[in-house]
Amino acid sequence: MYLIFYSTNDVYEVEELLRENGISFEIVPTPLKESIYCGVCIKTEEPVALAKNLLKEYRFKIA
Amino acid sequence: MNKDYIYFDNAATTRIKPDEVYQAFSYFVTNIGASPGRGSHPLAIEASRMLYQVRKTVANFFNCPSSSQVIFTKNATEAANLFFRGYLQPGDHVLISMHEHNAIFRPVEQLRRQGKISYSVYPAPYSGAAWDYGEIERLITSRTRILALSLASNLTGEVFFSPDIVSFLKKHGIKLLLDASQGAGRLRPNIAANGIDYLIFTGHKDLYGLPGTGGLCCLKPPEFEPLLQGGTGGDSSTWTNPDATPEKYEAGTANMPALWSLKAGCEYVKLNHAAISEKERVLYRYCYDNLRQIPRVKLYGTPKREANLPILLFNIDGMDCQELATELNQQRICIRSGLHCNILGHTSLGTEKTGAIRVSLDYNNKLEEIDTLLDIINRLAKE
């Protein structure tokens, strides 16, 4: 799944958060159909609930 | 070349930076060299990651609640323009202190000339003196939204900010804009603990960054209009900057080599704060104690100097300050003379017609350099 953020700064803040929580992920280009968001997003196979729980403070969508 | 000059213009720009700052610059231009937020290739991602780390460092340095509430600009002047032009609404009223630098004064005056806002100049006390809140209350109108105040004077080093002002302003529903251009690294204002609504800073002075960096830190997420429209790296399909903070306030390519150096500068200051402050106290006291004993030297500012930044402003009675500056320049001593981009401050000191000589010291100066300056001043004062 993709975690797609409005703000680029949030991508890298979340990157740090995921790393601290031992969640595997990758930073990849945002799929073009989601181009209303920033240029890169986070791709992870971790369960949606876990990601959502960690990211309550952020403006993002899951695709 | 460094040894050839005695550099006492640190209030304009600190000339000698810690090695870590030069190394950071070199690392970025040699190993990264790409733009943050532009593209998704590995170097762009690494540059973006580094930009976030700079933001986090600055947020920690000033205790700003979130890295996303740190907006980078090219200096404090741009940050002031971003703030005033974005935040103020037509008809608003602003209070600025009688010590404000032109970076605050001119944007506000220009908005007044354009018929958009009005402003009043209020008296702010020198280091340690009590605020006259009654005087400020008389200037407040129903449209007063902002009080702007310098953390410290770029002329005399006196510290103006006191946390008390924040509770006074809260009572009146007025926000504080603190200009921390002078003293950000030495006094380290604490945004969250002191309730500083907006703080502007510049990187190239006592934070030891390179020129070309500065910013606006916000206590709460900013909701005003950006100063610049252009590429932000995200959502390129919209016709104006997308609503993403902080990027919407930072259109255009960031000065990433200098920003990465700023991180190194902030870390250096944080780690060495006590040693830097102690050394500067010694230099400042030595310079002040000796200057004041030279006949015809007139020093400006309060005699209560313990809390001041290491900046001294003076004239030799009967001698034009520009003449004195020329003499010092010829001896390869770098000081700054004139009005120092602060006509309000000079007016409040009564030196708006004469200007003055400013000696601004830094941790990297030496007592022997001050001796050289004192010898020349002594000689000139006797002529």
Identify the H or E element spanning A41: strand A40-43
Query: Whole-prediction pTM value?
Result: 0.95
Report the gap between the CA of B227 and the closest CA in chain A (Å): 18
Residues B32 and B176 in one domain: yes
CB contacts < 8 A, A to B, total 68
Interface probe with B: pick from A9, A30, A56, most Cβ of B within 10 Å: A9
Specify the residue for token string 């104690």: B289
Instruction: Judge whether B218 and B64 are in contact, CB under 8 Å.
Output: yes
pLDDT value of residue A34 = 66
Strands B336-338 and B311-316: unpaired
pLDDT value of residue A47 = 79
8 Å CB contact of A12 and B40 = no
pLDDT value of residue B302 = 81
B247 and chain A in contact, CB less than 8 A: yes
Select from B266, B281, B308 the last residue of a domain.
Answer: B266
Residues B293 and B372 in one domain: yes
Strands B311-316 and B356-360: antiparallel
Identify the H or E element spanning B329: helix B321-330
| CA pair distance B21, B138, nearest whole angstrom | 47
8 Å CB contact of A28 and B40 = yes
Residues B234 and B142 in one domain: yes
Select from B241, B266, B291 the last residue of a domain.
Answer: B266
CB burial string B31-68: b at 16+ within 10 A, e below: ebebbbbbbeeeebbebbbbbbbbbbbbbebbebebbb
Select from B266, B292, B313 the last residue of a domain.
Answer: B266
B255 and chain A in contact, CB less than 8 A: no
- Measure CB to CB from residue A7 to each of B40, B238, B244 and give the nearest one: B244
Residues B152 and B109 in one domain: yes
Burial of B254 (0-12, 13-18, 19+ CB in 10 A): buried
Chain A residues whose CB is inside 8 A of the B247 CB are: 7-9, 38
Residues B251 and B349 in one domain: no
- CA–CA distances in Å: residue B247 to residues B94, B106, B335, B380: 27, 26, 38, 53
8 Å CB contact of A27 and B237 = no
Q: Which residues pair with B108 in a beta bridge?
A: none
- Backbone Cα Rg of chain B: 21
Each residue's pLDDT expressed in tens, for chain B with a length of 383 residues: 455 899 999 999 999 999 999 999 999 999 999 999 888 899 999 999 999 999 999 999 999 999 999 999 999 999 999 999 999 999 999 999 999 999 999 999 999 999 999 999 999 887 777 888 999 999 999 999 999 999 999 999 999 999 999 999 999 999 999 999 999 999 999 999 999 999 999 999 999 999 999 999 999 999 999 999 998 887 777 899 989 999 999 999 999 999 999 999 999 999 999 999 999 999 999 999 999 999 999 999 986 778 899 999 999 999 999 999 999 999 999 999 999 999 999 999 999 999 999 999 999 999 999 999 999 999 999 98
pLDDT value of residue B3 = 57
Residues B309 and B259 in one domain: no
| CA pair distance B261, B72, nearest whole angstrom | 14
Residues B89 and B137 in one domain: yes
8 Å CB contact of B48 and A37 = no
pLDDT value of residue B1 = 46
Quote the tokens at residue A51: 């990601």
Interface probe with A: pick from B35, B38, B40, most Cβ of A within 10 Å: B40
Residues B192 and B291 in one domain: no
Number of domains in chain B: 2
Nearest Cα residue to B15 out of B363, B368, B258, B248: B363
Q: Could you tell me the CATH number of the domain that includes residue B155?
A: 3.40.640.10
8 Å CB contact of B67 and A9 = yes
Report the gap between the CA of A19 and the closest CA in chain B (Å): 13
Instruction: Give the confidence band of A36 by pLDDT, cuts at 50, 70, 90.
Output: low
Residues B73 and B204 in one domain: yes
pLDDT value of residue B138 = 97
User: What is the mean pLDDT of the segment spanning A39-43?
Assistant: 92
Strands B6-7 and B333-334: parallel
* Mean pLDDT of chain A, nearest integer: 88
Q: What domain range includes position B330? A: 2-17+273-382
Residues B6 and B92 in one domain: no
